[in-house]
Amino acid sequence: MATNGSAGAATAPGSTGTAARPPAILVLEDGYVLRGRAYGAQGRALGEIVFNTGMTGYQETLTDPSYHRQIITMTAPHIGNTGINDEDCESSRIWAAGFIVRDPARRASNWRSRGELEDALIDSGVVGLSHVDTRALTRHLRERGAMRAGIFSGDALPIGAAHEGPGSAAAIDICLDIVRRTPTMAGRALAGEVTTSAGYVVEPSGAFAGREPVAVVAAIDLGIKSRTPAQLAERGARVHVLPQSTTLAEVLALDPDGVFFSNGPGDPATATAEVELLRGVLDAGIPFFGICLGNQLLGRALGYGTYKLDYGHRGINQPVLDRATGRVEITSHNHGFAVDAPTGAPTTAPFDSGRYGRVEVSHVGLNDGVVEGLRALDIPAFSVQYHPEAAAGPHDGEHLFDRFIGLMRSRRGAPSIPDAGAAAPAHPDSPVKPIKEA
């Protein structure tokens, strides 16, 4: 597979031992340099460098389309221990531009493993870096912010760059010039690069398999993770996953009970067409649910702004306060932009003199106070910034899919969900019963 921002041959390092690995370097746009060893493919990787604080879930992270054009630094020191398997991919390919770890596993050891992580990186042409101080790198990014960076190894590594000494400064300058000519993440429209090329349908599954859907969802793929339509299907929904370029007329032709906007990469300020589509959905009174980029686009559709975070939230251990219930949920995040909306009392949505009525910030990140969710009080629309589909991550937010199902059925005046053999509600805030395990 082609890899974002990578160049050079996808060659194996030959051994997981440090000494046997070819040299590789990381160069940040501010001149920060780390020298280490090649990991995965060799060549060049360019993109925005970010860090992920999850101790597990590297396979889901690498295959999350939201990481398109980004170099991922894993803060957990040992990566690759559980290998890769056939079940945990969130899309059909690895999207990360590059991958940085401190200590790669020498071999995978897990009953679900079907292969080595490094082999998958090589096969996908993903250029990586190992045996560097990822803690020091993470502290640097926290202090200076996410920025452009490049990994250089193999034929892409300039002569003299791998070791300090005479001639190394000139070699590093060559790499630095390449990095600084890479486009910044701010101002980039990337959803169209990761969306499905054609629509497809995910039918009801589990206890609802073979039955008429309890709701029909039009899901706009801006970089959707496979677990998201699966969550809706497990609750009895038929999900039409549609390309990013889908028009309002095409959405309305499906007569959906609800519309969903997925996660995805890029700057929400560039998503003019998507915001116009969303406003058409809101004007039609169709229930709406958005995740991650979908949350940012709901914010912009309502008239609020968005801004770039210094270093973003990425990991599966982020505490978020649900202000309606007072519960603190541990959640999965992957976002570098956020909604700029008042976190106090509900406010009137600014767009078109308050066309969409009142809006409240429903969720707040407890680490830094960032808006993590929106709920419209006068129209059927809500969104969250984090990832409730729990892939990979905790399950605390899965009840939001129940809420969306309930919102869609309420609009149709439908009765409660047919009994699927479930017992107690999954969450006190859940409007429907949980789905019984198949």
Residue 153 annotated as binding site: no
Residue 337 annotated as binding site: yes
Q: Residue 420 has which token pair?
A: 């699927």
387 is catalytic: yes
Residue 66 annotated as binding site: yes
* 347-348 and 358-365 strand pairing: antiparallel
> Of 90, 140, 292, 360, which one is the catalytic site residue?
292
Q: Which residue has the tokens 């589990």?
A: 206
How far apart, in Å, are the Cα atoms of 433 and each of 52, 245, 248, 413, 430? 34, 35, 32, 17, 7
Cα–Cα dist 248/88, whole Å = 33
How far apart, in Å, are the Cα atoms of 119 and each of 62, 124, 249, 265, 328? 14, 9, 44, 26, 39
The full DSSP string for 228-253 is: HHHHHHHTTEEEEEE-TT--HHHHHH
Residue 266 annotated as binding site: yes
292 is catalytic: yes
Cα–Cα dist 87/79, whole Å = 18
> Of 131, 387, 399, 427, which one is the catalytic site residue?
387
First to last CA, the chain: 35
Strand, coil or helix: 320: strand
Count Cβ atoms below 10 Å from residue 331 Cβ, excluding itself: 27
Cα–Cα dist 373/352, whole Å = 22
Burial 298-330 (b: 16+ CB within 10 A, else e): bbbbbbbebebeebbbbbbebebbbbeeeeebe
Q: Residue 69 has which token pair?
A: 């054009």
* 33-40 and 381-384 strand pairing: unpaired
Q: Which residues are 102's β-sheet partners? A: none
Residue 261 annotated as binding site: no
**Radius of gyration of the chain, Cα coordinates, nearest whole angstrom:** 22
The DSSP H or E segment spanning 79 is: strand 78-79
Q: Which residues are 431's β-sheet partners? A: none
Q: Residue 262 has which token pair?
A: 């997925």
**Alpha-carbon torsion (65, 71, 72, 78), positive or negative:** positive
Residue 336 annotated as binding site: yes
> Of 389, 398, 399, 427, which one is the catalytic site residue?
389
Residues at the binding site for L-glutamine are: 66, 264, 266, 293, 296, 334, 336-337
Active site residues: 292, 387, 389
Residues at the binding site are: 66, 264, 266, 293, 296, 334, 336-337
